[in-house]
A and B are shown apart, each in its own frame.
Chain A
Amino acid sequence: MRSPFAALLAVATALALSFLILPILAIFVDIPPGQLLDGMNDPAAVDALLVTLKTTLIANALILLVGTPAAYLIATNAFRGKAVLVTAVELPLVLPPAVAGIGLLAAFGRFGLLGGGLDFLSLSIPFTQVAVVFAVIFVASPFYLRAAISAFESVDATLTGAARTLGAGPARTFLRVALPLASGGLGAGWALSFARGIGEFGATIMFAGSLQGVTQTLSLAVYEQFDVNFDVALAIGAELVVVSAFLLLAVKLVPSWTRSSSPSITLSAPFASR
């Protein structure tokens, strides 16, 4: 018999691992594979998949296209109030989803801050696919922004300076030097942001509702189908597990040229205190 301490360690590890793995395993083995595939073909599941694909694609394109230059600007400039600004960017990370939802309504809702102006343009955002995209961007983009800022900050300023003295203007320096060198951190940050966006629930259900074929994403469909047809809920759950596992794998394998931002480190970067 080994020492009681070694036994304690082994028991604790076994408990932790089985508790974490069991629910994920259960999604795939609770019902036969045939039934699981049938569930995926359910109209509610198909609609949810299409809504999720479309809104996720648009939201992530916007996060990357707007977030990357913004992060570069913030990272490469020293200015008063920078710490405050970065904290403000991080705030949605820790905000309860319900608060995010009510905030979005207060800003873009019919009677919200911009509601009047939007009404005047006969634009109504709440309970549309635009609202789903807004909700995803609001809760997910801080993950990307935070990681992108620290990835750009860790690019050696001597290298961007060297690019300038070699005749590259600011835009070429960004594209050919800063962007590739930050790519490891950017990829890891984006994967996190993507995962957060796919799983988005609270803000979406408050701000966009859960209308099948319009605003009902996979995450919302799991919740709704769990009352209606448990098999379909499981099938959608399985889809989300596969996507998430794939993302995690991508984060671990993403290449990185920068010594300081290896993927495993950047994975936790959004929460790292500096």
Chain B
Amino acid sequence: MDTLELSLDHPLRSFRLSVELELGRETLALVGPSGAGKSSVLRAIAGLLRPQRGRVALGPDTWFDGDGAVDLAPERRSVGLVFQEYALFPHLDVRRNVAFGGRERVDELLERFRISHLARARPGDLSGGERQRVALARALARDPAVLLLDEPLSALDAHTRGVVRGELGELLAELRLPTLIVTHDFEDAAALADRVGVIVEGRILQLGAAAELLAAPADEFVASFTGANLLHGTARPGADGLTEVVLDTGGSAFSTDQAKGRVGLAVYPWEVSLARTESVDSAVNHLSGEVSSLVVLGNRVRVRVGPLSAEVTAASAERLALSEGGSVVASFKATASRLVPLS
């Protein structure tokens, strides 16, 4: 299987898109806020955007090189691109939409994506989940060597989203094509991709397995984007080899990470535990305060205490009789807090 090599340098409205990636038989997700240049990366690979400089190659085939010395037309690049709003042709029925990419495998694909019964329907009459399946079938009808997905789940409602995410994960595992997904949702990225790259203002800040990003976020932005609580403060050496962070909001917190000066202290909600009173336990960081919000997410409850979000099971929340406005102590271990440079 060929490797997709990508190196781009292209000016966007307020920053330069500067990205280098190598993609084997794997799924890589670029995750970042909207306007970070994610879609431009996909468009440059597909040939819909001509970068100022760079190189796009699949194995021995160069698709783009230099300042345009080689620049293959989009129809000559073996790419399946699923657009954000799916970009189905409104004047063609489902069968013709899929057949637009290639006629040979239409029936097989309609079957594979469970849309055979919709063959005669127009895209305007389909639900979001059905449109997404049509878009995938159409992209695969061309038998592409590379799959590009632009926010494949963002056009779906919360309920459909979970189901479709599972199906998409199975599909990608089955295809084993070099696949590049762009999304603004870290959870989607972590669920679907082998590797996740966090991209901000045209640059990839950190690239690695989702677990690696969570375990060691490269900076403040990656930490908060992956869902961590972020407390700003000034680090200085503390007792027992721990680092003491004097928080801007008052008080101190301790971390086993080494740092000095201005830092962000990152701690994930699921590493924050809650108690009614400050108990004697192994956690060194305690913060007592009022519960400012309480959101039930299925069997989990997300509790906001001062600057921290804690995620506990619904059963624990019940046992502690948590309620908005009630007082509570949030605790996390020094080993669970990471010190990250401010960006």
Contacts and interface: CB of A to CB of B under 8 A. Distances in A.
A201 B165 CA distance: 65
A46 B142 CA distance: 57
A248 interface: no
A167 B89 CA distance: 14
- The dominant DSSP class at the A interface is helix
Closest 3 CB pairs of A and B: A164-B74, A162-B87, A166-B101
A240 interface: no
Interface string B53-91: 000000000000000000001110101110101010111
A162 B135 CA distance: 10
Contact of B89 (A164, A165, A177): A177
17 contacts: A158-B85, A158-B87, A159-B87, A159-B89, A159-B90, A161-B46, A161-B87, A163-B100, A165-B46, A165-B48, A165-B74, A165-B77, A166-B75, A166-B139, A168-B100, A176-B100, A177-B89
Decide if the interface of chain B is mainly helix, strand, loop or mixed. Answer: loop
Most buried by B among A167, A177, A257: A167
A176 B91 CA distance: 10
Contacts, number: 57
Contacts of A159: 87, 89-90
B102 interface: yes
A161 B58 CA distance: 21
Contact of A162 (B47, B73, B83, B91): B83
B138 interface: yes
A169 interface: yes
Contact-residue bracket for chain B: 20 to 34
On chain A, which size bracket covers the interface?
Answer: 10 to 19
A167 B47 CA distance: 12
B297 to A, nearest CB: 34
Interface string B243-275: 000000000000000000000000000000000
Contacts of A158: 83, 85, 87
Contact of B91 (A165, A166, A167, A257): A257
A164 B101 contact: no
Contacts of A23: none
B142 A167 contact: yes
A165 B85 contact: no
Contact of B90 (A166, A168, A169, A181): A181
